[in-house]
Structure 1
């Protein structure tokens, strides 16, 4: 064998950089559990992102009562607060953007502190109406029930005999009315009640009240 052939055979069997470069790449191990975990983490992240987006896009800024508001009271700006809530649209909450429209209206029902306002919570009804009148009366504790009176209570003003007079025969004279304002005078301790009555009954009722010989009767609150 010639020296050229010997040199060629040596080149094929020698170890070095050339031989290393021709070695096959190592086989990568597949790890199914690790891949499943990664896919699960991606899915959970997507679900959390979707929930966060939904939560932030379904909240609305609505009006709630800062403190309790009695039925019939004129609503002031200080009575209300703006709160962002995730409210069911079926409840029809009053949007905070309607604040100026609500202020000046009356509470249609008793509104508890923290309660969200709805369109039925307020009314623009003017009291008294064209065919009605409001008559005020100051009553001592002996002339009113022990129960606290509220806006909208149905009451009767009953004519009572003067001191020393005998009870009149038959049914005493009465006037049906609705309480549209109640407060206790700090000076006299008397309960001052604003009574809504038909316009035709206002003069008669005022005359009876002037005598002081009356009593107020609270009728059923069931509607």
Structure 2
């Protein structure tokens, strides 16, 4: 019995493959594949920034226009100097600021008054920095106090504040009925800090008849300052 040989293709590698077809959808003319949502968000953000910028500019302009004109000095003025027209100038400050000042319209009322303390160039004039007549009235004297913490209140002092000066017993001596401290009234004329000692130097106007007692007690560091109301 003879086996019949199976007929084979002599060149299997050369057999052509069947072409595959892929269905594609043609694009419409002008159609973009980029999503439109991000673009809308960018446009909205730009509009918001523009609105906020315009509002900010409005508030800056509006706040800068709310100013008031006040009196300043255009040169150094020494204590006791009689104010003249050439000593004064004007500057603008924001309205509502807690800065003691004299309105520019009232500048004429300052002429002929005396400076009660030294006023540096460019300073806004504090109404309490000037007084009618001499800087130190004839019935008063000015004493200087070098005060450490605890000898005066932590509340800020200002020129013109009414105060009481309490003469305290020597250090270590208890306060009793027999050693009750003496008190004297006065008015703050100026305040500054001694950069060497760190003490606060307060110049106070006091009645002339009390000045010697207060000055003696102050030199012994036996004076405390009490701030009173009623300014």
Q: TM-score, normalised by structure 2?
A: 0.48
Larger fraction in helix: 1
Q: TM-score, normalised by structure 1?
A: 0.49
